[in-house]
Chain A
Amino acid sequence: MGAVVRVAVAALRLAMAEFVAVAAPVTAPGSGWQPAYVGLGSNLDGPVERIERAFAQLAALPSTRLIARSALWHTPPVGPVAQPPFINAVAGLLTQLPPRALLEALLATEREQGRRREVRWGPRTLDLDLLVYGASVVDEPGLQIPHPEMPHRAFVLYPLAEVAPALWVPGHGRVASLRAAVEGSGLERRG
């Protein structure tokens, strides 16, 4: 008994030392993984390959896991410039990055794929939009969450409803209901 207790106490000391050593972990205690949803879009230079590559890049982000991906949706282009149809999709992530850091990572991915931003509504190599981040509502320069235009965009809501049908978009409502309220004709689901 005495020996067992001595061993136990030694082990306890070891555990306590380790406990103190990790008392300030990388992630704050209790800070969980936030669900975050990213809209992907492309209509230039092999859009399907670009979207596939973007999914792989999202899966490789630090402190982030790609959990669900929608099908690829083909969408007629919007706006005054003649251009090929868009491919759209949505990724469902779990992340420990704060919203701003996640946004920066998305912008870096866009740049890496050579996005040009000359023409609004014009052709684009790759668009990554942070749509929803947990229950967060953010309104800062350069960062609005939920994405202000998403409740009206069929090409976002259709794929988002595949990934997160039971998601409540803060300030707007359930994804399934939002999707039911937009016109989705012209959208075409491609596996």
Chain B
Amino acid sequence: MNTEANATAGLHASLPHRFIVVEGAIGVGKTSLARRLAVTTGAELVLEQADENPFLERFYRDPRAGALPAQLYFLFQRARQLQALRQQDLFAPHRVGDYLLAKDRLFARVTLDDEEFALYEQIYAKMAVEAPQPDLVVYLQAPVEVLLERIVRRGIGYEQSIDRDYLTRLLEAYTGYFHRYDASPLLIVNAAEIDPAENDADFSDLLEVIRRTVRGRHYYHPLRSGDPLKALRGG
């Protein structure tokens, strides 16, 4: 990456990060948060286009039979989008995204059986996708009950058949993944009790924590009252 471009971007930045990714399980509110971050900071927003996946509905209807085409569609779609981003990287504006490419493999491990996953892995390796590296990942966490409630509340038709077991396994996969994650600075946010996409105070507290998180791994357990930075513990 071009250091001069970086230096200029740094000077002009309202946040020190050029590329922030918000991650988390279905229903935790990552896309809403990513949208609000983009508008508040003037960053371009890169969203995955789950509702364009023609196999997704079939997958939710019949997870066993519908998983492989849904996974492969996502893999191609995400790879194409991220690779295009990388090609524009040099003069890129600031960006906010709502997924990591790693998410694709994480879901594949949960949804596919062993033979399918082996096939998926071969395709994944062949594609050799070079995704742009975020300089901060904000990982939103919430318990299964909270996710289920939020999924019902937002009412996307095909999501309504998501069951507790599937969500529990996804959550475990996310937890395991971020437990080992060290590819970029990481902010793990307990989002069970806050709603930063809708609540102004929750959002500005979180924004301040994001602004200060430029390296390492941090946990943010927002307290309903008090200084949010007191709840920020470095790792």
Contact = CB atoms under 8 A, between A and B. Distances in A.
Interface of A: 1, 4-5, 8, 11-12, 14-16, 18-19, 22, 25, 28-35, 65, 67-68, 92-94, 132, 134-135, 163-168, 174
Interface of B: 12-15, 35-36, 38-47, 52, 54-55, 68-69, 72-73, 76-77, 80-85, 87-88, 93-95, 113, 115-116, 119, 123, 207
Contact of A5 (B13, B40, B77, B115): B115
A29 B81 contact: yes
Given A8-B68, A15-B68, A164-B41, A25 B52 contact: yes
A35 B85 contact: no
A151 to B, nearest CB: 15
Chain A: interface secondary structure?
A: mixed
A34 B39 CA distance: 9
23 contacts: A1-B115, A4-B116, A12-B119, A15-B73, A18-B69, A19-B72, A19-B73, A22-B77, A29-B83, A30-B46, A32-B45, A33-B35, A33-B38, A35-B44, A65-B35, A67-B39, A68-B36, A68-B40, A92-B39, A94-B38, A134-B42, A164-B41, A167-B42
Chain B: interface secondary structure?
A: helix
A92 B80 CA distance: 28
Given A34-B44, A166-B14, A166-B15, A29 B38 contact: no
Nearest to A65: B35
A166 B82 CA distance: 25
Contacts of A29: 80-81, 83-84
A183 B42 CA distance: 24
Contacts of B123: 12
B35 A166 contact: no
Nearest to B68: A11
Contact of B47 (A19, A33, A134): A33
A35 B45 contact: yes
A94 B12 contact: no
